[in-house]
Amino acid sequence: MAEAATKPRTLPYVAAITDGVRAVLNEQPTAFVAGEDVAEAGSVYGYYNGLLKEFGPERVIDTPISEAGIVGLGVGAAAAGCRPIIDIMFMDFLGECMDEVANQMAKIRFMFGGNTSLPVTMLTMAGAGASLAAQHSQSLEAWICHLPGLKVVMPTTPYDAKGLIIAAARDDNPVIVVLNKMSLAMQGEVPEEDYEIPIGKANIVRQGSNLTIVALGRMMHEALKAADQLKEFGIDAEVIDPRSLQPFDTDTVTASVRKTHRAIVVHEAVRFGGFGGEIAAQIQEQAFDYLDAPVGRVGAPFSPVPFSPALEAHYVPNAERIVAETKRLLGL
């Protein structure tokens, strides 16, 4: 009798984060995790659960409530030969440590003439949708993508969460992994073995012929819903998940636009000054002659994230807004 096929392992996004961090701690003897509530509590969302018991208090460390201190610890430890994973509980808290991020973590290798590497990985949680209000719900990836010296990735699926955390921790440069709080329960296939998602390589999630949708982070799932709805209007949308924002895979995006002749960029962050403007600029610089319409952009309104669930639902971009922008762009 033929042996039954092994069923693929499925994990939620939150457990895939744990799986990735565990793989790093097992692989790299100088790796450790440090941050607020990462040890005893397993983090505010539980994605370090079990690691304190497994690896001990010297490798899973609760820090004081000081984001500046956490980043300083990570930078110093990395410069001294360790490979730390530091946790900034919410992306909004980058404001508490931006000097250390912008003027130390991003620049120190250049200031030392390339004589030191800085293999520090930062995990942080972004995104709205949980009624956590204006100080715990922002998407600030444009801040950090503007800093030469940093790499920035945004895992969209459980598979990508594990693979990008491992890739970040193996990199000799500082890498910020921007996670999404509304994706934590999302299920997906995650292999038990260790693997990397290449930093700087986009993923064509869905093939299409006459519209390219470039969707960052959780918006990729909204883009897929929009692509289904757009079929009714005869639009065959290709959906691209960049996964890596810095470095950004311009070649994959522009190759798609040369094929489809139209593009829309979608992100959860505020539209004005968002990373989508950079993507749109790169498209028009490298594929202008192929465009049959201006590059569209979908993002949040220029406002702090509201606390009210009804207002927040109106604030966060979704599939319906992607469809509406497509119809406006194409005159449908």
Residue 67, φ and ψ in degrees, nearest 5: -60, -35
How far from 108 is each of 14, 75, 199, CA to CA, in Å? 32, 9, 21
What are the tokens at 314? Answer: 């109106």
Q: How many CA atoms lie within 13 A of 303 on its CB side?
A: 12
What is the 3-class SS of the chain, one letter each residue? CCCCCCCCCEEEHHHHHHHHHHHHHHHCCCCCEEECCCCCCCCCCCCCCCHHHHHCCCCEEECCCCHHHHHHHHHHHHHCCCCCEEEECCHHHHHHCHHHHHHHHCCHHHHCCCCCCCCCEEEEEECCCCCCCCCCCCCCHHHHHCCCCCEEECCCCHHHHHHHHHHHHHCCCCEEEEEEHHHCCCEEECCCCCCCCCCCCCEEEECCCCEEEEECCCHHHHHHHHHHHHHHHCCCEEEEECCEEECCCHHHHHHHHHHHCCEEEEEEEECCCCHHHHHHHHHHHHHHHHCCCCCEEEEECCCCCCCCHHHHHHHCCCHHHHHHHHHHHHCC
Q: How many CB atoms lie within 10 A of CB 172?
A: 13
Active site residue 222: no
Catalytic residue among 3, 36, 58, 67: 67
Active site residue 67: yes
What are the tokens at 273? Answer: 């000054």
Catalytic residue among 36, 100, 136, 221: 136
**What residues are labeled active site?**
67, 136
